[in-house]
Amino acid sequence: MPKVSPGAGATSGRRGRGRRVASSLAEINVVPLVDVMLVLLIIFMVAAPMMQHGLDVNLPVSRRAPELSESRLYVTVPESFARERVVRLNDDRVRLDALGERVRQALLNQTEKQVFLAGDGAVTLQQLLEVMDRLKDAGVERVGIVARTPGPTGR
C-alpha cells in the first residue's frame, strides 16, 4: 500500500511564506475504495459460475408431450360414504362408479401407479375394500393407507 503524504504537494507551493498551513485534502482518497471494489470483483468472479442452474436448452415442442407429473393421488372416503357412495379424489367429489375411470385417467402419465387412501375412522373395512377394488381395477399397483400418529392422549 503506497504511503500518501497529503502535506507534501500542498505545502511545496507555499514555501517562503513563512507559515505552514494545515490544508485539507483536495481529492477523494480512492485507494481503499479500489481495494474494496477489486476484492468484491474477485468474489463475484468466483461466485458467478456457481450461480448457473443448468444448461440452457430450447425444449422441443410436441403436441403429445406427456406431462411427467409426480403429484400424489389421494382418495378420501368420508363418513357419509355408506349413504352417498361418494368419495373425494384429491379435491373432486366423485361417485364410486366413476372413481375407477378417473383414477385410470389420472395415472395415465404416472410411472408410479400408487394411490393414497384416507378413510374416516368410522368407515368399515367392507366399504374401504369396495373402494380398493375400484382402485385395483384402474390399474393401481400400490395403495397406501393414510393414518396419523397418536397424539399425547393416545387418541
Partner 1 sequence: MPIPSYRLAPVVAAMAAFVALATTSPLGQQPPPTPQQPSELELTISGEPGTPPKFAVPDFVALSGDAETQAAARAIGAVLWDDLQFEREFYMIPRDTYGSIPSAKSFQEVPFDRWLELGADGVIIGFVQRTGTGVTVQVRVFNVRTRTSVFAKEYSGAASNPRLYAHTVADEVHQQQRGLRGVARTKLTFSSDRDGERAAGGVPNRNVKEIYVADYDGANQRRVTVTKALNIFPVWSSDGRALAYTSYRRNNSPDIYISSIYQGTPPETPLKGRGQNWLSSWSPDGTRIAFTSNRDGNAELYVMNRDGSNVRRLTNHPSIDTTPTWSPGGNEIAFTSDRSGRPQIYLIPADGGVAPRRISNESWADRATWAPAPYNEIAYSALIGSTNNIRIYDVASGERRQITFGEGSNESPVFSPNGRHIAFMSTRRGRSHIFTIGRDGKNLRQITTSGNNYTPDWSR
Q: Give contact residues for partner 1 (rule: CB under 8 A).
A: 2, 4, 6, 9, 27, 30-31, 34, 37, 41, 44, 48, 56, 64-67, 92-95, 97-98, 100-102, 105, 108-109
Tell me which residue of 93, 101, 86, 94 sits closest to 134, measured CA to CA. 101
Q: Give 94 or 132: the residue with its C-beta nearer to partner 1.
A: 94
> Minimum distance from CB of 9 to partner 1 (Å)?
7
Q: Which helix (H) or strand (E) holds 143?
A: strand 142-145
Q: Give 109 or 124: the residue with its C-beta nearer to partner 1.
A: 109
Residues near 115 by Cβ (< 8 Å), separated by ≥ 6? 73, 74, 75, 103, 107, 135, 140, 142, 143, 144
Helix segments in the chain, DSSP class H: 6-12, 31-47, 81-84, 96-106, 125-137
> Minimum distance from CB of 148 to partner 1 (Å)?
29
Q: Give 82 or 145: the residue with its C-beta nearer to partner 1.
A: 82
Q: Tell me if 129 sits within 8 A of 89, measured CB to CB.
A: no
> Minimum distance from CB of 103 to partner 1 (Å)?
10
Residues near 119 by Cβ (< 8 Å), separated by ≥ 6? 76, 77, 127, 128, 131, 145
Q: Give 72 or 93: the residue with its C-beta nearer to partner 1.
A: 93
> Minimum distance from CB of 27 to partner 1 (Å)?
5
> Minimum distance from CB of 38 to partner 1 (Å)?
8
Q: Give 100 or 119: the residue with its C-beta nearer to partner 1.
A: 100
